[in-house]
Structure 1
Amino acid sequence: MKSYKLFLIILGLFLVNCKTNQEPAPKFQHDIKMGPTPWTSESFELEEEDFTFAIISDLNGGERKGVYSTAVSQINRLDPTFVLSVGDLIDGGTEDSLQLAKEWDSFDARTSKLNMPFFYLGGNHDLTNPRMREFWKNRFGPRYYHFVYEDVLFLMMDSEDYTEKRMLEIYHARAEALKIINGDIEGDYEDSEYFNMPERRLGGMSEDQLLYFKNVLNQYPSVKWTFVLMHKPLWRREDDKGLGQLETVLSNRNYTVLNGHLHSFSHRIRNNMDYMILGTTGGSQKLGDSLAFDHITLVRMAQKPIITHLKMDGILNEAGKVPY
């Protein structure tokens, strides 16, 4: 009897071993034994570890109601790992703390409906004056920062990085220009001091921020890819307040630059890398501009980024309608 029980145990172990040594079922299976097949190939992409993230662009500079809330619903359906922004998240432009709290509460309430993490980045509407800068610090922490996810480095830059004196000069010049636009005072907007300030179009970066990101890049010399996000196109500014010095440090790695601010999409190759100005995700649009459209940018990060710009009016639910 003992010998028979021992035999059953050994047989069971043998069968289990045979089962575990079996080759896994092939990924692609069919029942056509011979002749032509109704598909082009049986060579499928090798499985690889990757992740996706989404980017939203300008809400403000004339926010159109309901667009951003729709984008949140659409992003949830796309289910990226996280969401990034390139600034202009509130209307701002005020020193009224109660008004700022109201605007940020509104934005945060809509953003809280995302099913994944969201990373803030400030634009000129979010960081218009020293009081708004302090409000940001108390609510969100640093204005520029970095993080690494799955060996991919993200540089989140502040393109409104001026001395307090210069920030106030820009703020007051902007207030004067708005009076011209609104007809409160006479004048030509294009002749105004604000219109001709390089910061209006291109932003600026401090020496401290430059040194911070130089140190970050030195800390992570061999990541798989680096993404550089900002609101205004610092890379278009050619003096020492622009991106040039940092581009020199970036030159020995793969990277992608994305910004917003202009409310019109464009792409170019610069330093053999992709530089993109995003359109809008609810901000104002210039009539007749075919590249002024609402979109969500979706990036699949495999060995290199696969970047897809999805127009919001084409992201539909199971009923074939734009989800709200």
Structure 2
Amino acid sequence: MKHRALLTAALAMLLCGAGPVTPDYRPGHSDVARTGKDFAGGKDEFRFVVIGDRTGEHRPGVFEHALEEVNKLRPDFVINIGDLIEGNSEDLRQIDAEWQDVTAATGKLDMPFFYVPGNHDLTNDIQLQAWRKRLGADYYSFTYKNALFLVLNTEDPPQPKIARRKLLEAYGPQAMGVALQALQGDTEQAKALFAREPRIGELAAKLRASENVAFSAAQLAMVRSALARNPHVRWTFVLMHRPAWKVDSPAFREIEAMLRGRDYTVLAGHFHKYEHQTRDGHDYVQLGVTGGTPGGRTDDPAVFDHIMWVAVAKGAPQISNIRLEGFFPKEGPPASSAHP
């Protein structure tokens, strides 16, 4: 009789809209006004944040501010898509000082931060050795709650002929922004611009020639092995710096062939401008910046500082992007929307 009474009471609570009873939820009244949906945050769910480029005459404080706000959101972990230091140097003291600035910020997070290498981070073999000594592997995989993460290195080996900083110094940030904007925009409009402004066309040609990716045979073997060990994960995330799908890369085509038949999402950066496209039914996203130099005109709606919030539960991952200017403290929005 006692058990029947308890069962009747539980059923009454469900029928009255109190919702299903979970180990963490105990309604204080039999007719709590709520829907009957299950609570989010189940054991198979997780959320992570992706950080964009920080380089190209980075703006002090923006990256640090972003991580402070991310820490309050309490994702399971944070990962980036490369280019955290300005690099382009063989001076170990400079390289070490730049990494100290970055790791001081990432070290304040209450959750893990995963590093993905970019061309600024690995401009040469000296920077590669500094990366390995300070951070660890420059390409690797890991799984979390039955999702596979492949962290790729598009500078494997480093490509010393690529010297973005030298181009920036030679042509200036404004010309660099115009050239990058043209290369990512309408082809006919770009041709017309280069005809009118030969210097911009010259810079664009040098930038286009530098956009190579490199994946070693050892890295391809790592990808093949990680996929073989994890054939039944619910989703695969591929993170890299340069968007390898935008260049003629036989190695990346091989990686895409390895991914065939599974659910996956590819995330990259490098161009400092947000872009989404679908390839064979899969999301390929090029992130914007998180403190890096904007990749084009500031009035371009695809050029902004942001973080990416990824929620993994049932079905495909849900991606949301949060502009950094959208954050403000509990005291209310500042008098000025400008941020250092």
Which category describes the TM-score, using the shorter chain as reference length? Answer: 0.7 to 0.9
Q: Residue in 1 aligned with 2:170? A: 180
Q: CA deviation at 1:66?
A: 1.2
Q: Indicate yes or no: 2:320 matched with 1:308.
A: yes
Q: CA deviation at 1:51?
A: 0.9
Structure 1's unaligned 5+ residue stretches are 1-13, 34-38
C-alpha separation between the residues in 2 aligned to 1:311 and 1:224?
A: 29
C-alpha separation between the residues in 2 aligned to 1:260 and 1:79?
A: 23
Q: Residue in 1 aligned with 2:193? A: none
Q: Indicate yes or no: 2:285 matched with 1:273.
A: no
Map 1:178-217 → 2, pairs under 5 A: 180-181=170-171, 188=199, 190-191=201-202, 195=206, 198=209, 200-217=210-227
State whether residues 53 and 82 of structure 1, in contact with CA within 8 Å, keep that contact through their aligned partners in structure 2.
Answer: yes
State whether residues 180 and 189 of structure 1, in contact with CA within 8 Å, keep that contact through their aligned partners in structure 2.
Answer: no
Q: Indicate yes or no: 2:146 matched with 1:156.
A: no
| Residue 305 of structure 2, aligned match among 277, 284, 294 | 294
C-alpha separation between the residues in 2 aligned to 1:255 and 1:193?
A: 32
In structure 2, do the counterparts of structure 1 residues 238 and 225 end up closer, same or farther at CA, with 3 Å as the change threshold? same
Q: Residue in 2 aligned with 1:124? A: 119
In structure 2, do the counterparts of structure 1 residues 140 and 290 end up closer, same or farther at CA, with 3 Å as the change threshold? same
Structure 2's unaligned 5+ residue stretches are 20-26, 173-197
Q: Residue in 1 aligned with 2:37? A: 44
Number of residue-to-residue matches in the alignment: 296
Aligned residue for 1:138, secondary structure, equals helix
Map 1:90-169 → 2, pairs under 5 A: 90-162=85-157, 167-169=159-161
In structure 2, do the counterparts of structure 1 residues 97 and 247 end up closer, same or farther at CA, with 3 Å as the change threshold? same
> What's the TM-score once normalised by structure 1's chain length?
0.81
Q: Indicate yes or no: 2:258 matched with 1:249.
A: yes
Give the residue type in structure 2 aligned to 1:212.
M
State whether residues 121 and 143 of structure 1, in contact with CA within 8 Å, keep that contact through their aligned partners in structure 2.
Answer: yes
C-alpha separation between the residues in 1 aligned to 2:67 and 2:203?
A: 38
Give the residue type in structure 1 aligned to 2:222.
Y
In structure 2, do the counterparts of structure 1 residues 191 and 76 end up closer, same or farther at CA, with 3 Å as the change threshold? same
C-alpha separation between the residues in 1 aligned to 2:95 and 2:149?
A: 28
In structure 2, do the counterparts of structure 1 residues 266 and 202 end up closer, same or farther at CA, with 3 Å as the change threshold? farther
In structure 2, do the counterparts of structure 1 residues 46 and 206 end up closer, same or farther at CA, with 3 Å as the change threshold? same
Q: Indicate yes or no: 2:330 matched with 1:318.
A: yes
In structure 2, do the counterparts of structure 1 residues 44 and 176 end up closer, same or farther at CA, with 3 Å as the change threshold? closer
State whether residues 177 and 194 of structure 1, in contact with CA within 8 Å, keep that contact through their aligned partners in structure 2.
Answer: no
Describe the superposition over 1:241-268 as per-residue Cα deviations: whole angstroms up to 9, x where unpaired: 4x21111111110000000111110111
Q: CA deviation at 1:202?
A: 4.4
Q: Residue in 2 aligned with 1:284? A: 293
State whether residues 264 and 289 of structure 1, in contact with CA within 8 Å, keep that contact through their aligned partners in structure 2.
Answer: no
C-alpha separation between the residues in 1 aligned to 2:204 and 2:324?
A: 37
Describe the superposition over 1:207-230 as per-residue Cα deviations: whole angstroms up to 9, x where unpaired: 221121011111111101000000
Which segment drifts farther, 297-306 or 223-232?
A: 297-306
C-alpha separation between the residues in 2 aligned to 1:139 and 1:20?
A: 59
In structure 2, do the counterparts of structure 1 residues 263 and 168 end up closer, same or farther at CA, with 3 Å as the change threshold? closer
In structure 2, do the counterparts of structure 1 residues 175 and 85 end up closer, same or farther at CA, with 3 Å as the change threshold? closer
Query: Bigger radius of gyration, 1 or 2?
Result: 1
> What's the TM-score once normalised by structure 2's chain length?
0.77
Q: Residue in 1 aligned with 2:63? A: 68
| Residue 232 of structure 1, aligned match among 242, 251, 262 | 242
Q: Residue in 2 aligned with 1:36? A: none
% same residue: 34
Q: Indicate yes or no: 2:259 matched with 1:263.
A: no
Which segment drifts farther, 99-108 or 286-295?
A: 286-295
C-alpha separation between the residues in 1 aligned to 2:70 and 2:39?
A: 27
Aligned residue for 2:67, secondary structure, equals helix
Aligned residue for 2:250, secondary structure, equals coil
Q: Residue in 2 aligned with 1:7? A: none
In structure 2, do the counterparts of structure 1 residues 217 and 100 end up closer, same or farther at CA, with 3 Å as the change threshold? same
C-alpha separation between the residues in 1 aligned to 2:129 and 2:199?
A: 33
